[in-house]
Structure 1
């Protein structure tokens, strides 16, 4: 089975650079643990002041805080695929002046992880503070260790890396979801993605 690295990418879409007030700290969003209990109801995010001309909204919204910020359309596609290792944390999407612009967006928190990275064959750097991979320049996937039913998952040892199956990629494309790119996982280099 082929897997793909999922990234929010757009050349003209809005960019968000902060989490909602009173939400868990950034690093908690890459632990694969549930966060709904500590997430603020009605939490608001706004388009970044650093990119005042970027106002277009896609189904996947670029951000600088390392989360999957998505529309409810993304959640619906994953629900239709019966993906059960995720939680959708609703947010209020606001423009640069903090005026709400659209309903139905949230942070998609992928729960758990899969042993997807071949630590002996991949080329990577680790964080000085942990054994987590901080940068990968040649990703090699493990053979036979990823649950074949896993359609979207975090890569153990690099929890910020989100992978999707062929089935998920195809479902996203058939639904016409916007603002994402699926990079082939084998050989992936995060410096050029």
Structure 2
């Protein structure tokens, strides 16, 4: 089974850089914890004023957060693939003028993590603040035997901001015509999103 790095990458897409008001503590979003029980009802996220000309809509909306914003189309594909560790936290998406954007959107919070990174075979630098987390990958090697057979879309235990997806998930995203994302073959990935 092959795995791919999943990133959001949308040309001139509206960028989200704040979690909804009343959200759980920001650090929790990067930990792979369930948060539906503490997530605010009627949560809103807005296009960032730091990127005033970026206003296009995609299925994977660009964020500066550790949790991507995804459309209802992404939700339906995730549901059809029975990805049970995907917690979708509903949000209303607002444009630069504060107007509601049509459609369903949610923060995609992946629960848990897989011990997928081969720490001996990979080339990386550890995070200077969180010494248990990788800060930058230069060459990624996977230990596929440590990845659960049912893990289809997941965070990596030693680099929780890194999302990997199985090849069947990548194919389903492409086949569904989803927009605003990129995939890179995980084995040998150099950490660059170009």
Quickly name the TM-score band, shorter chain normalised: over 0.9
Q: Which has the higher strand share?
A: 1
- Which ranges of 4 or more aligned residues in structure 1 deviate by more than 4 Å? none
SS in 2 for 1:129: coil
State the shift of 1:190 in Å: 2.3
State the distance in 2 between where 1:46 and 1:143 align: 38
Q: Is the 8 A contact 1:26 1:65 kept in 2?
A: no
Equivalences for 1:1-193 in 2 at 5 Å? 1-130=1-130, 131-193=132-194
State the distance in 2 between where 1:66 and 1:85 align: 16
State the shift of 1:191 in Å: 3.8
State the shift of 1:115 in Å: 0.9
Q: Render the CA deviation track for 1:54-83: whole Å, top value 9, x for unaligned.
A: 111100000112212100111110110111
Structure 2 unaligned runs (5+)? none
State the distance in 2 between where 1:80 and 1:143 align: 24
Q: Is the 8 A contact 1:26 1:66 kept in 2?
A: no
State the shift of 1:12 in Å: 1.7
SS in 2 for 1:109: strand
State the distance in 1 between where 2:82 and 2:144 align: 24
State the distance in 2 between where 1:19 and 1:91 align: 10
State the distance in 2 between where 1:7 and 1:129 align: 23
State the shift of 1:99 in Å: 1.2
| Equivalenced residues, count | 193
Q: Render the CA deviation track for 1:1-50: whole Å, top value 9, x for unaligned.
A: 11000001012211111111111232211111101111111111111111
State the shift of 1:192 in Å: 4.4
Q: Is the 8 A contact 2:48 2:96 kept in 1?
A: yes
State the distance in 2 between where 1:67 and 1:89 align: 10
- Normalised to the residue count of structure 2, the TM-score between the two structures is 0.95
Structure 1 unaligned runs (5+)? none
- Normalised to the residue count of structure 1, the TM-score between the two structures is 0.96
State the distance in 2 between where 1:112 and 1:153 align: 7
State the distance in 1 between where 2:144 and 2:38 align: 36
SS in 2 for 1:171: helix
